[in-house]
Amino acid sequence: MQYSHEVEEMMCVAKGAKHDPAPIPEEGAWVASKEVKDISGLTHGIGWCAPQQGTCKLTLNVKEGIIQEALVETIGCSGMTHSAAMAAEVLPGKTVLEALNTDLVCDAINVAMRELFLQIVYGRTQTAFSEGGLPIGAGMEDLGKGLRSQVGTMYSTAAKGVRYLEMAEGYILEEGLDENNEVIGYKFVHLGKMMEAIKKGVDPKEAYEKNIGTYGRFAEAKTVIDPRKK
């Protein structure tokens, strides 16, 4: 290490106070993190690209500084889905510091990684007060049955009103309207469950019909419309 002449000539003043980093909550313990390996936790974060045409929700499960599990969910941009595929392959096995300084292909994913890094190193993770944290695989459990992201897709115009296209329950088949043409419920098909049934050998038509449900007061609807056609 090089020192300037001015520093070399200075008298050495002893450091008195011992000022360690403030402890942060990590998986049910208070940790004074000094190195990357001191960091653990599972958490989520979101990011967006410069033109803001798409967004990413990133979930990481970090154990002793190493990313052991990654869930990359994107919406709004077709190219972003391919970026997510590459990022999901790249992230596990890296330290959180490596991941922060890795090109994750898409701006939205990079921004999500930045936001997650801040949460993780400041002890603001979802598992901050959960003893031992969550096992590897907890991120996948967030997806629920059928392993599909929770997506809400709605479209509306001032002239023609709202169209429900996709909800947490599934792909919307029909909207139910009352006598005032206000939405009172909808019919949906759970695509994840339907595809699981088809993969197990169930006839596609039967799998489709068995995974149809309704929400709200759909049975009382005076008018039923296909939100994609009518």
Model confidence pLDDT, tens digit, residues 130-169: 999 999 999 888 887 778 888 899 999 999 999 999 998 9
**Separation between Cα atoms, residue 157 and residue 200, nearest integer Å:** 41
Task: Compute how many other C-beta atoms are within 10 angstroms of the C-beta atom of residue 127.
Answer: 20
Task: Compute how many other C-beta atoms are within 10 angstroms of the C-beta atom of residue 12.
Answer: 5
Q: pLDDT by residue (tens digit) across 46-81?
A: 999 988 999 999 999 999 999 999 999 999 888 899
Q: What is the mean pLDDT of residues 160-180?
A: 96
With pLDDT > 70 as the criterion, what percentage of the chain qualifies? 100
- Enter the pTM of the model: 0.86
- Tell me how far apart the terminal alpha carbons of the chain are, to the nearest angstrom: 73
**Cβ(59)–Cβ(142) under 8 Å?**
yes
Residue in this structure with the two tokens 């994609």, named with its chain if needed: 228
**Separation between Cα atoms, residue 66 and residue 85, nearest integer Å:** 20
Q: pLDDT by residue (tens digit) across 26-52?
A: 999 999 999 999 999 999 999 999 889
